[in-house]
């Protein structure tokens, strides 16, 4: 990684879509500052008077809360379940300097070129068996004077803060804190900047975008629910566990829990390995050796024709699923996935305007086959989930709509006012051909102003003029 916060995208490598930067320092970190200006007056090289003025100011960076646009996304996504057991929970920020606007060290020093810079932000991951501490809201006064048995580092009051300002915290049992919190050295490597070329997604010429990312240091447990907290480690550098995981002796012995400011939290589920794609394939029953559910004759109804139809459907890889219809009623329909124990002929060809056009109804059984309909809807949702593609599709549809509206406007104008012929001015006397054409163009412009909205309405309603 590089510590040079320059635009590394397309700098000699036209195929590069992303550059990793070790850190991006802000011009001024958050906190109080004083600027002093000195002026000396000299006469013939001799200083005769000195003037000096000082001005105090503060940089109000994020501290106990984040702005509405600071967080771009989190991963794993909130409320999702998937194969996350090999993924470190992380947060993506729109501001590239945010993870380095403050420091975990009470006395911060200037960074050394080529050396990492510790971030003040961290992601703590709690397993459902820990259990996760519940967030609660306290005031800044409570942070300065926590209850007995609760440890919080001594904090420095900054300008613009009020002792009654609310702040969300979690109180982590001391043993759990020592077990899952990163060391100070870890914070050198749990954040970085990604300079991204968005043209790879959007297809438009747009400038490179810098995002910062903060990672956790703990993997989710397969089969369990995990809760991630984006927390502040400002001034925690002296109290974090050692590099070997041993507890920090700087925390008082009477401490029952460590109080940490939480800036955001979310929950997700890590599927057990048996529920992953690879796990499901290894659990496929080979008796019978086909991609189908086994037919259980114990569930037969006694109707030979119906039981035979059901057995044949299972043999072709179908399964019966509950189906909610548009009118609110419920039924049971056949569904199959793309993997079949036989070759399936193509019965129709695109385009299809909606998923309903791909539903198939069997009048002999009175059941629907929703396989292709479900695939159409799934593909549509996956497409729209790609924000860049959805935006490009919208722009294309808008361009096509505008072109058709403009063509319809011109059609209405041409019908009402055909182009002027040269013979129309032959007997005009005072009017020359150029004067008539100019007047004609003005009349056409007026008609277009009147016919344009009407043409738009006609097109939207499908009415023929």
Per-residue model confidence (pLDDT) at position 413: 72
Give residue-wise pLDDT tens across range 67-122: 989 999 999 999 998 889 889 999 999 999 999 999 998 876 777 777 899 999 99
Mean pLDDT confidence for 304-328: 85
**What is the three-class DSSP state of 18?**
strand
Give residue-wise pLDDT tens across range 407-445: 887 777 777 666 665 554 444 445 555 666 666 666 666
Closest CA to 33 of 61, 5, 66, 65: 61
Q: Hey, CA dihedral for 31, 111, 119, 172, is it positive or negative?
A: negative
Mean pLDDT confidence for 442-458: 60
Q: Is pLDDT of 333 > 80? A: yes
Query: Whats the size of the chain, residue-wise?
Result: 465
Per-residue model confidence (pLDDT) at position 148: 94
Per-residue model confidence (pLDDT) at position 235: 92
Confidence class of residue 458 from pLDDT cuts 50, 70 and 90? low
Determine what percent of the chain is predicted with pLDDT higher than 90.
Answer: 42
Contacts of 248 (CB under 8 A, 6+ apart): 178, 238, 239, 240, 241, 242
Q: Mean pLDDT of all residues in the chain? A: 83
Confirm if 96 and 117 have CB atoms less than 8 A apart: no
Q: Hey, CA dihedral for 428, 429, 430, 433, is it positive or negative?
A: positive
CA atoms within 13 A on the CB side of 116: 16
Mean pLDDT confidence for 237-250: 91
Confidence class of residue 202 from pLDDT cuts 50, 70 and 90? very low
Confirm if 173 and 257 have CB atoms less than 8 A apart: yes
Residue 339: both structure tokens together: 């993997």
Q: Is pLDDT of 449 > 80? A: no
Q: What is the pTM of this model?
A: 0.60
CA dist., res. 396 & res. 398, Å (int) = 5
Per-residue model confidence (pLDDT) at position 167: 96
Confidence class of residue 269 from pLDDT cuts 50, 70 and 90? very high
Crossing angle for the helix pair 433-461 and 387-416, nearest 10 degrees? Answer: 130
Per-residue model confidence (pLDDT) at position 258: 96
The better pLDDT of the pair 457, 77 is held by: 77
Confirm if 118 and 237 have CB atoms less than 8 A apart: yes
């Amino acid at each position: 990684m590089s510590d040079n916060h320059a635009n590394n995208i397309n700098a000699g490598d036209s195929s590069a879509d992303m550059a990793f930067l070790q850190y991006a320092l802000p011009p001024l970190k958050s906190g109080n500052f004083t600027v002093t200006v000195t002026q000396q007056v000299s006469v013939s090289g001799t200083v005769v008077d000195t003037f000096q003025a000082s001005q105090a100011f503060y940089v109000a960076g994020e501290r106990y809360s984040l702005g509405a646009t600071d967080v771009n996304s989190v991963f794993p996504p909130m409320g999702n379940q998937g194969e996350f057991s090999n993924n470190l929970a992380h947060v993506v920020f729109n501001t590239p300097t945010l993870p380095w606007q403050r420091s975990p060290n009470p006395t911060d020093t200037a960074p050394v070129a080529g050396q990492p810079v510790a971030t003040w932000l961290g992601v703590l991951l709690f397993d459902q068996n820990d259990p996760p501490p519940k967030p609660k809201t306290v005031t800044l006064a409570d942070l300065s004077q926590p209850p007995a048995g609760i440890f919080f580092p001594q904090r420095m009051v900054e300008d613009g803060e009020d002792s009654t300002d609310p702040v969300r915290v979690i109180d982590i049992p001391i043993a759990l804190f020592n077990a899952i919190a990163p060391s100070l050295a870890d914070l050198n490597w749990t954040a970085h900047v990604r300079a991204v070329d968005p043209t790879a997604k959007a297809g438009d010429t747009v400038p490179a975008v810098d995002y910062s990312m903060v990672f956790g240091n703990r993997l989710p447990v397969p089969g369990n629910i995990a809760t991630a907290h984006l927390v502040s480690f400002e001034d925690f550098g002296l109290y974090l566990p050692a590099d070997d995981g041993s507890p920090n002796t700087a925390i008082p012995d009477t401490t029952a829990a460590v109080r940490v400011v939480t800036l955001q939290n979310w929950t997700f589920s890590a599927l057990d390995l048996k529920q992953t794609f690879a796990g499901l394939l290894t659990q496929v029953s080979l008796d019978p050796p086909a991609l189908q559910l086994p037919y259980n004759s114990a569930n037969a109804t006694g109707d030979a024709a119906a039981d035979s139809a059901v057995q044949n459907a299972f043999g072709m890889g179908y399964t019966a699923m509950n189906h909610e219809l548009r009118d609110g009623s419920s039924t049971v329909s056949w569904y199959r996935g793309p993997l079949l124990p036989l070759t399936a002929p193509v019965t129709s060809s695109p385009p299809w305007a909606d998923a309903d056009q791909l539903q198939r109804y069997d009048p002999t059984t009175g059941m629907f086959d929703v396989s292709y309909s479900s695939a159409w809807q799934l593909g549509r949702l996956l497409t729209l989930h790609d924000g860049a593609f959805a935006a490009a599709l919208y722009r294309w549809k808008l361009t096509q709509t505008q072109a058709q509206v403009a063509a319809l406007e011109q059609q209405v104008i041409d019908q009402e006012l055909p182009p002027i012929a040269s013979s129309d001015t032959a007997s005009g006397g005072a009017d020359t051909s150029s004067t008539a054409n100019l007047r004609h163009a003005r009349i056409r412009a007026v008609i277009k102003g009147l016919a344009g909205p009407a043409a738009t309405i006609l097109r939207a309603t499908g009415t023929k003029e």
